[in-house]
Amino acid sequence: MSARALPLTFLLACAGAACDGPVDTDLTDAAATDARAPVRDGRVAPPPSDAAFPPDAPDPRWSGALLDPVVDQAVAEEETLSIVIHADPSARVFVDDAPPGSRWDEAARTLTFTPDFIQGARAYPVSVTAISRDERATESFTIDVEDTIHPRDPEILRVTDGWQATHIRVVQTTDDYLDPPGLAGRELEAVITVPEAASADSLMPMRVTLHAAGGAPTAVGGPDRFGLAPHNPEGNWWGGRAEVLPDEPTTGRVLDYSQRRVLHLLDWVIRNYPGVDQNAIMLEGQSKGGVGVLWMAARHGRHFSRVYARLAMAAARLMRGGMDDAFEGHMGPHEMSLLTERGLPAWDDYDLMRALRDDPEAASLHYLVYNAKNDRLTTFHHWIQPSPHTGETGVEAMQRHRVGHEVGWDQRDHSDGTPFWDMSRSSRDVRRDRAFPAFSRSSADDDAGAVEADGSFSGDDYGVLNRYFEWTSEEIVDTRAALSIPMRADYVEVAPPTDGRPPRDDGYAGATPIVADVTVRRAARFVCLPGERVRWRWVPAAGDPSEGEVDADEAGLVTVPQLPFTPEGGTLHLERSEVRPWDA
The DSSP annotation for 500-513 comes to SSPPPTTEE-S-SS
Asked whether residue 181 is domain-assigned, the answer is: yes
Asked whether residue 491 is domain-assigned, the answer is: no
Whole domain around residue 121: which residue ranges?
29-146
| Residue 8 parent element (H or E) | helix 8-14
Asked whether residue 425 is domain-assigned, the answer is: no
Number of domains in the chain: 2
Question: In 3D, which of 252, 256, 257 has the Cα closest to residue 299?
Answer: 256
Asked whether residue 47 is domain-assigned, the answer is: yes
Asked whether residue 487 is domain-assigned, the answer is: no
Q: Are 297 and 355 in contact (CB under 8 A)?
A: yes
Same domain, 85 and 161: no
Question: Final residue of a domain: which of 326, 350, 374?
Answer: 350
Tens digits of per-residue pLDDT, 263-317?
999 999 999 999 999 999 999 999 999 999 999 999 999 999 999 999 899 999 9
pLDDT at 1: 54
Instruction: List Cα–Cα distances, 119 to 79, 101, 194, 300, 541, in angstroms.
Output: 11, 10, 22, 12, 44
Domain with 84 in it: what CATH number?
2.60.40.10
Same domain, 170 and 307: yes
Asked whether residue 249 is domain-assigned, the answer is: yes
Same domain, 129 and 240: no
Domain with 322 in it: what CATH number?
3.40.50.1820
Same domain, 111 and 179: no
302 secondary structure, DSSP code = G
Tens digits of per-residue pLDDT, 194-251?
999 999 999 999 999 999 988 889 989 999 999 999 999 998 999 999 999 999 999 9
Same domain, 206 and 235: yes
Residue 38 has pLDDT above 60, yes or no: no
Same domain, 120 and 209: no
Same domain, 101 and 167: no
Question: Final residue of a domain: which of 122, 146, 170?
Answer: 146
Same domain, 159 and 257: yes
Question: Final residue of a domain: which of 350, 372, 392?
Answer: 350
Same domain, 104 and 192: no
The C-alpha atoms of residue 229 and residue 416 are separated, in whole angstroms, by 24
Residue 32 has pLDDT above 50, yes or no: no
Same domain, 138 and 228: no
Asked whether residue 562 is domain-assigned, the answer is: no
pLDDT at 329: 92
Q: Quickly count helices (H) and strands (E) in the chain.
A: 10, 30
Residue 16 has pLDDT above 70, yes or no: no
Asked whether residue 95 is domain-assigned, the answer is: yes
Same domain, 141 and 191: no
Same domain, 250 and 219: yes
